[in-house]
C-alpha cells in the first residue's frame, strides 16, 4: 500500500519539524484527485509500511498551527484520506 502526505502541510517554518521527519523517506511528488475538493500535490513515502504508518500516526496527532497534516493512502488504485492509523 502506498502512503502520502500533502506537500503544503510540510512547507513553511512552522512545519520544519514535519519536513525533517518526512525528508529521509521522500519519494516522488504526484497530483491526486484533480477533480476532488481536496486535490493537491502529495509526497509519497518511500519506506516500509510500518515506518510509513508510524510517520502518518505522528502527523495526524500533531495539531501544529494549522492542524494535523493531511495524509492519504492508495487502495485499489484510488487515494483516500487517512484520519486514523490502524
- Residue 28: the pLDDT is 94
Q: What is the pLDDT along the chain (86 residues), one digit of tens a residue?
A: 899 999 888 887 777 888 889 999 999 999 887 666 556 889 999 999 999 999 999 999 888 777 888 999 998 988 888 988 76
CB 52 within 8 A of CB 42: no
How does 11-42 read in b/e, with b if 16+ C-beta sit within 10 Å?
A: eeeebeebbebbeebbeeeeebeeeeeeeeeb
For the entire predicted model, the pTM comes to: 0.85
What was the pLDDT predicted at 35?
A: 64
The predicted pLDDT at position 63 comes to 80
For the chain, domain boundaries: 2-81
Which CATH number is 2-81's, of 3.30.70, 2.60.40, 2.40.160, 1.10.1660? Answer: 3.30.70
Residue 38: per-residue pLDDT: 59
* C-beta neighbour count of 71 within 10 angstroms: 22
Amino acid at each position: 500500500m502506498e502512503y502520502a502526505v500533502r506537500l503544503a502541510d510540510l512547507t513553511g517554518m512552522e512545519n520544519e519539524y514535519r519536513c525533517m521527519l518526512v525528508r529521509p523517506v521522500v519519494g516522488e511528488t504526484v497530483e491526486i484527485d484533480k477533480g476532488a475538493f481536496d486535490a493537491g500535490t502529495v509526497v509519497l513515502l518511500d519506506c516500509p509500511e510500518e515506518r510509513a504508518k508510524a510517520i502518518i500516526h505522528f502527523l495526524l496527532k500533531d495539531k501544529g498551527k494549522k492542524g494535523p497534516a493531511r495524509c492519504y493512502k492508495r487502495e485499489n488504485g484510488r487515494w483516500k484520506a487517512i484520519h486514523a492509523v490502524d
